[in-house]
């Protein structure tokens, strides 16, 4: 049975310290909940009668039933989507070694939750299985990021680490690509099948300590080349352009 205490608990998951202490995260909406239920252990779920009459309950879930008003009190969204669920976080993957024959995506200081979620969703679309994050990247299990991934966290593993140390331990010869204003034209380069791609924050770019380990500097040119344009691209848009070009080759 759903209760006010459960609603209060769900609301508390807006705070990272609570998510970390409990080892859980929140997902809302049928798409996200359905995708994540295939990959993560459910802790609790709740749905409205209206949602249940028009949707199939995802496998593994036995949601409590409550009215729209109570769901709205539990939800962290402005417009609740009829169902929400709390899932157990996966165990942290600390020993991941980037493959030499595929792409690994690295985020350095990207703090906007919408951008981080979009990038995880992009990684899923392009078959990039790991996103490695600096400690100051927005929490991938934060509610806004989870919603922006649209369930991609079911297939993309993300973890946080000291990037300079992690990059220094990569397999010998594995190239590290980064985007810079003064890099080589992305569309004129021969791009390998296996590489680490580093994307920095829009405000500061790639940090100095990580930049020292970048072996190939790329830029996304304006069109026509040299034309005056906006100062920079949104990091999620830039990530899509760079990763798609690697996959196209």
Sequence ranges of the domains in the chain: 4-88, 103-248
Element (H, E) at 148: helix 143-149
C-alpha to C-alpha distance for 135 and 159, rounded to whole angstroms: 9
For strands 130-133 and 64-65, give the pairing.
unpaired
- List 24's β-bridge partners, or say none: 88
**Is the confidence at residue 230, as pLDDT, over 90?**
no
Give the H/E segment covering residue 108.
Answer: strand 103-108
Distance CA 102, CA 195 (A): 6
Q: Per-residue pLDDT tens for 115-158?
A: 999 999 999 999 999 999 999 999 999 999 999 999 999 999 99
- pLDDT in the model for residue 114: 96
Mean pLDDT of the chain: 94
- 3-state percent helix, strand, coil for the chain, nearest multiple of 5: 35, 20, 45
**Which tokens belong to 161?**
């680490």
Query: Spelled out in words, what is the top-level CATH class assigned to the domain 4-88?
Result: alpha beta
Q: Check pLDDT > 90 for residue 224.
A: no
**Which structure tokens are listed for 162?**
């000291």
Question: Span 103-248: which CATH code?
Answer: 3.40.1280.10
pLDDT of 94 reads 74
Confidence of residue 12 (pLDDT cuts 50, 70, 90): very high
Please report the pLDDT score of residue 223 as a whole number: 86
Helix axes 235-248, 113-125, angle to 10 degrees: 10
Q: 13: burial class by Cβ within 10 Å (0-12, 13-18, 19+)?
A: buried
**Burial (CB count within 10 angstroms: exposed 0-12, middle 13-18, buried 19+), residue 52:** middle
What kind and span of H or E run contains 168?
helix 163-168
Residue 96 DSSP SS3? coil
Distance of CA 159 to the CA centre of its chain: 10
Distance from C-alpha of 197 to C-alpha of 105, rounded to nearest angstrom = 5
Q: Exposed/middle/buried for 243, CB within 10 Å: 0-12, 13-18, 19+?
A: buried
Between strands 83-88 and 42-47, the pairing is antiparallel
The pLDDT of residue 92 is 79
Q: Count the neighbouring beta carbons within 10 Å of the beta carbon of residue 15.
A: 11
| Residue at token pair 């996304």 | 220
CA distance 237 to 46: 35
**Residue 207 in this model has a pLDDT that exceeds 90:** yes
Please state the φ and ψ torsions of residue 96, each to the nearest 5 degrees.
-65, 130
């Amino acid at each position: 049975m759903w209760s006010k205490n459960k609603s209060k608990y769900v609301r508390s998951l807006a705070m990272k310290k609570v998510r970390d202490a409990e080892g859980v995260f929140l997902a809302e909406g049928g798409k996200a909940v359905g995708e994540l239920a295939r990959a993560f252990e459910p802790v609790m779920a709740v749905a409205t009668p209206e949602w249940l009459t028009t949707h199939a309950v995802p496998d593994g879930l036995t949601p409590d039933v409550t009215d729209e008003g109570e769901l709205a009190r539990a939800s962290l969204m402005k417009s609740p989507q009829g169902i929400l669920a709390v899932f157990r976080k996966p165990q942290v993957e600390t020993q991941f070694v980037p493959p030499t024959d595929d792409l690994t995506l690295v985020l350095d200081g990207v703090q906007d939750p919408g951008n981080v979620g979009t990038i995880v969703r992009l990684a899923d679309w392009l078959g990039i299985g790991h996103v490695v994050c600096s400690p100051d990247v927005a929490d991938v299990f934060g509610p806004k990021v989870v919603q922006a991934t649209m369930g991609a966290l079911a297939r993309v593993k993300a973890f946080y680490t000291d990037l300079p140390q992690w990059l220094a331990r990569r397999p010998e010869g594995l190239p590290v690509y980064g985007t810079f204003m003064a890099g080589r034209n992305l569309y004129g380069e021969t791009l390998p099948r296996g590489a680490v791609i580093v994307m920095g924050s829009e405000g500061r770019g790639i940090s100095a300590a990580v930049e020292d380990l970048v072996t190939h500097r790329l830029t996304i040119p304006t069109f026509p080349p040299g034309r005056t344009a906006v100062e920079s691209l949104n990091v999620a848009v830039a990530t899509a352009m760079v990763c798609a070009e690697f996959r196209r080759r």
